């Protein structure tokens, strides 16, 4: 059975306050299964093996991972080892380093006896901040969508999105989805084209699950359909999330985003990037300097669906997980501070 997901916090502390509880995204939309993480090792596995994913959620999970390590042993050695372990769990989303660095700033100066408590409190604060940032992105994006809809008030506003930058990928609301949820709640008729997002199908499995739960009309399309729809006037705007925006405004996001930006540019469709400040990386000059995760080819060779996995080719496969959209193709960045045409 396919389930519908109502937005809620994707990560919370466990009941005893000493662990973290996350949704196992590998089971969605077939099963809603929460799992408890109890150690830095658990958090590292959950991030690396994509039980949870999405830039802000990776950061939040790592923050609790560091706190869980300190709850077991608050020595400098454990702190440094947990930081190194978690930082290496995935390479591309800068939110991971951002969250771990905020945690280090908080706990490093403290005596060992105070570290675990302070670390959990800082991880909670990182999560609360994420929710507030996404709500603000939603409000600024809502104004934008209202204006776009006013150009064609007689028909639904068609938005195309890629991957999952929704509440599952963040602590709540999502980045790219926050304006969509707010627009829908405000009575603006929104329809979303959901890129399936091969190879892991975050669009078909996760974004569609979220939009169903919120009652937002949507249609899943193959990743290659976007250009055709844009050329035929069926897309009013593209809104995507991001894993890292560099100093010059280049946008790293799920593989395939660049092709959507090219098609949008060629068809005068506005291309918006929902960008919370922890995803901005001023220390990395351009998109060429971002480490792009190369995942295992098995993710391309096998497709997971209800009831299991099937093999779709006998050949070997390459699996670059992210690409870079040059800043020149971005119409604007929807941030918590407003809609900006440059970062």
Ligand X SMILES: CSC[C@@H](O)[C@@H](O)C(=O)COP(=O)(O)O
Q: Which residue positions form the known binding site for substrate?
A: 53-55, 90, 202, 253-254
273 bridge partner residues: 240, 333
Instruction: Out of 236, 243, 250, 323, pick the active-site residue.
Output: 243
6: phi then psi, degrees, rounded to nearest 5: -90, 135
Which one among 106, 246, 253, 335 touches ligand X, defined by CB under 6 A?
Answer: 253
Select 29 or 107, whichever has its Cβ closest to ligand X: 29
Stretch that binds ligand X, among 74-82, 112-120, 151-159, 237-245 (CB under 6 A): 237-245
Select 19 or 166, whichever has its Cβ closest to ligand X: 166
Which one among 5, 56, 138, 203 touches ligand X, defined by CB under 6 A?
Answer: 56
Q: Write out the E strands in the chain.
A: 11-13, 20-23, 34-37, 157-161, 190-195, 218-221, 237-240, 244-246, 251-254, 271-274, 280-281, 302-305, 308-311, 322-325, 332-335, 338-340
Does residue 172 carry a catalytic annotation? no
Select 155 or 337, whichever has its Cβ closest to ligand X: 337
Tell whether residue 102 is a contact of ligand X (CB under 6 A): no
Select 19 or 174, whichever has its Cβ closest to ligand X: 174
Which one among 29, 179, 241, 249 touches ligand X, defined by CB under 6 A?
Answer: 241
State the Cα–Cα distance between residues 163 and 42, nearest whole angstrom: 25
Tell whether residue 335 is a contact of ligand X (CB under 6 A): no
Provide, rounded to whole angstroms, the least separation between the CB of residue 141 and ligand X.
13
Nearest 5 degrees, angle CA 115-CA 36-CA 88?
65
Q: How many CB atoms lie within 10 A of CB 105?
A: 10
Stretch that binds ligand X, among 29-37, 68-76, 240-248, 312-320 (CB under 6 A): 240-248
Provide, rounded to whole angstroms, the least separation between the CB of residue 23 and ligand X.
13
Residue corresponding to tokens 């900006």: 340
State the Cα–Cα distance between residues 213 and 174, nearest whole angstrom: 14
Active-site residue list: 243
């Amino acid at each position: 059975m396919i389930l519908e997901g109502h937005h809620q916090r994707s990560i919370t502390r466990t009941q005893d306050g000493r662990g973290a509880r996350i949704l196992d995204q590998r089971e969605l939309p077939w099963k809603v299964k929460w799992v408890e993480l109890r150690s830095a090792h658990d958090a590292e596995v959950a991030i690396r093996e994509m039980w949870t994913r999405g830039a802000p959620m990776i950061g939040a999970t790592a923050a609790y991972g560091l706190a869980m390590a300190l709850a077991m042993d608050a020595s400098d050695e454990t702190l440094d080892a947990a930081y190194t372990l978690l930082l290496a769990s995935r390479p591309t989303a800068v939110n991971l380093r951002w969250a771990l660095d905020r945690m280090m700033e908080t706990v490093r100066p403290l005596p060992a006896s105070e570290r675990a408590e302070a670390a959990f409190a800082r991880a909670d604060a990182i999560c609360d901040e994420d929710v507030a940032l996404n709500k603000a992105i939603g409000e600024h994006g809502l104004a934008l969508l209202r204006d776009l809809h006013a150009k064609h008030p007689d028909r639904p506003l068609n938005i195309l999105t890629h991957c999952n930058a929704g509440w599952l990928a963040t602590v709540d609301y999502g980045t790219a989805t926050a304006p969509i949820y707010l627009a829908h709640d405000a009575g603006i008729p929104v329809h979303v084209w959901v890129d399936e997002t091969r190879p892991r199908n975050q669009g078909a499995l996760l974004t569609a699950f979220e939009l169903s739960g919120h009652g937002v009309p949507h249609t899943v399309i193959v990743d290659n359909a976007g250009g055709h729809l844009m050329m035929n006037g069926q897309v009013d705007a593209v809104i995507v999330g991001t894993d890292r925006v560099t100093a010059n405004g280049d946008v790293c996001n799920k593989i395939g985003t660049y092709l959507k930006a090219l098609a949008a540019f060629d068809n005068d469709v506005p291309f918006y990037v929902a960008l919370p400040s922890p995803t901005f990386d001023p220390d990395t000059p351009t998109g060429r300097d971002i480490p792009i995760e190369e995942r295992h080819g098995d993710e391309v060779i096998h497709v997971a669906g209800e009831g299991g996995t099937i093999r779709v080719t006998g050949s070997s496969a390459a699996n670059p997980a992210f690409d870079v959209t040059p800043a020149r193709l971005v119409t604007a960045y929807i941030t918590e501070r407003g809609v900006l045409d440059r970062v």
